[in-house]
Structure 1
Amino acid sequence: SIKPILDSGVDGIIVPQVTGVDEVKKVVADCRYPPTGNRGFGPRRGMDYGRKSLDKYLEESPEELFVAVMLEHENAVREIEEIVNIPGLDSVVIGTMDLSGSLGHLGDRSHPAVVSAIQTIIDAARRKNIYVGMGLGYEPELARHWLERGVQWIQFGCDYEYIVQGASQLFDSVR
């Protein structure tokens, strides 16, 4: 359940391993309060433990929550036109490694089938003003490549990778 995460007061959520339109509909519904969704109400932290009024919270929360799904399966590519037409979806994130594996080319993100699938997602999302993100490791050249083709934001690695890389560079510089 994503409800406890949402109730903690986050500004947005990225749900990984989403494989198709039915899952996207469920994610969006789980993130939105009725009447547009089915999210249960219990935002103690989101209401700053009572310091934010109920009226203020209800006024701000539907617009503030950024809902993104990570598309990492060939079925999501087939259903992309339906996916980008789901009201309440703010962004799609392309998980390039899992998508390449789903297409039978694990790790080969330059394979024509993988490149075509990625571009299909980008084009469909951009036509509907849905933000397009991409998950990558530390790969500035690949990021630049996809930014030039319509990706709007990049997620590079993760915090523990930054710590390890920074520490390694520091130790290498003093050896």
Structure 2
Amino acid sequence: MRRNPVKAALKAGQPQVGTWLSLGDVFAARLMARIGFNWLTVDLEHSPIGWNNAGLLFGAIADAGCTCLARVPRGDHDYIKRVLDAGAHGIVVPMINTVEEAKIAIAAAKYPPTGNRSVGGAMHAMNFDATAGDYYKHANDEILVVLQTESPEGVANAEEIYSLPGVDAIFVGPNDLAAQMRAPDGTEATPEEFNAMLGRILAAGKKCGTPVGIHVQTEVQVQQRIAEGWQFIALGSELRFMVTEAQRLVSALNLKTGGDLARY
């Protein structure tokens, strides 16, 4: 059975850099899987990508030799079971605020007796170049489980969550974390407060021996975060790459644009 190189590298303390796929296009996924990123995450939380399309994307990425992950909409059994049965090599689970939420997500990704994932499907074994029997025997060891810390509550519970068996990495969505840190009157957290929160996440990861990661937008930020000790790094998305380069060309040519898409 195919090993999960990203899981092995993170366990060995090696940074792994990937990107997000939001377009849901198989052609784009095939190209991106051959660029050289360590992993690609198909985003089922904040994109219109459907289940059938997600399965095609997982297959295209796996066939190219790249590690395919899925960010599920929510950390429950049904979502996690479905993306893993469709062939994802791992999951990214948003908004994990409590130990109980973390335990539910981990259990859904593991076959008994470790967890409660049900047995079935066919595409999962294909994407690991395995027989069904070998997949069921080794999936618990190779599936990558990444939980997201995106709120002050999640940070407060960080050490308990990060120390749970089965947590392979932690990932910070900085936009959601910043939004969750707003005061009741809507006042944004200061940069100092936000950076202090990131520092608490990084420190908890180091204390528990669990790799932590974050989403960034430039190669300079990738290098900065790796130097700080972050390991699971997401650089932009294929959507952002397309829009940013198009905006650069339009600006260089002094063409009139139809709107500001810088947020993507």
TM category (shorter chain) comes to 0.7 to 0.9
Structure 2: runs of 5 or more not aligned: 1-78, 255-264
Equivalent residue number for residue 62 of structure 1: 140
Match of 2:228 in 1: 149
1:128 and 2:208 are equivalent in the alignment: yes
Query: How far apart, CA to CA, are the structure 2 residues paired with 1:110 and 1:141?
Result: 22
Q: What percentage of aligned pairs have identical amino acids? A: 27
Task: Return the alpha-carbon distance in structure 2 between the equivalents of residues 52 and 144 of structure 1.
Answer: 36
State the partner residue of 1:77. Answer: 155
Q: Tell me, what secondary structure is at the counterpart of 2:135?
A: helix
Whole-angstrom CA distance in 2 between matches of 1:164 and 1:112 = 30
RMSD: 2.5
Q: 1:144 to 1:53 in 2, by over 3 A?
A: closer
Q: Provide the C-alpha distance between the structure 2 equivalents of 1:96 and 1:109, rounded to a whole number of angstroms.
A: 12
Is contact 1:32-1:39 (8 Å) kept? Answer: yes
Rounded Cα–Cα distance in structure 2 between residues aligned with 1:110 and 1:63: 41
Q: Which residue of 1 aligns with 2:244?
A: 165
> Any stretches of 5+ residues in structure 1 without a counterpart?
none
SS in 1 for 2:123: coil
Of 75, 79, 91 in structure 2, the residue corresponding to residue 13 of structure 1 is 91
Cα distance between partner residues in 2 of 1:52 and 1:148? 37
Report SS of the residue matched to 2:209: coil
The residue type paired with residue 134 of structure 1 is I
One-letter amino acid matched to 1:111:
P
Distance in structure 2 (CA, Å) of the matches to 1:13 and 1:70: 10
Q: Is the 8 A contact 2:110 2:140 kept in 1?
A: yes
* Whole-angstrom distance in 1 between the partners of 2:130 and 2:225: 41
For residue 118 of structure 2, give the secondary structure of its aligned residue in structure 1. Answer: coil
Residue 166 of structure 1, CA deviation: 2.5
- Letter matched to residue 96 of structure 1: P
Aligned length: 173
Cα distance between partner residues in 2 of 1:53 and 1:153: 29
Deviations 1:108-155 (A, max 9, x none): 67633222221111111122221111023x244444443332211321
Q: Which amino acid aligns with 1:17?
A: M
C-alpha displacement at 1:48, in angstroms? Answer: 2.2
* Paired residues for 1:19-30 under 5 Å: 19-30=97-108
Q: In 1, are the aligned partners of 2:110 and 2:117 still within 8 Å (CA)? A: yes
Q: 1:38 to 1:166 in 2, by over 3 A?
A: same
Contact 1:68 1:89 in 2 (8 A): yes
Q: Distance in 2 between matches of 1:109 and 1:94?
A: 16
CA contact under 8 A between 2:98 and 2:153: conserved in structure 1?
A: yes
Task: Supply the distance in 2 between the matched residues of 1:109 and 1:66 (Cα, whole angstroms).
Answer: 32
Helix, strand or coil for the counterpart of 1:157?
Answer: strand
Distance (whole Å) between structure 2 residues aligned to residue 170 and residue 107 of structure 1: 36
Aligned to 1:89: 167
Match of 1:32 among 86, 90, 110: 110
TM-score, normalising length: structure 2: 0.59
Asked whether the equivalents of residues 182 and 188 of structure 2 are also in contact (C-alpha less than 8 Å), the reply is: no
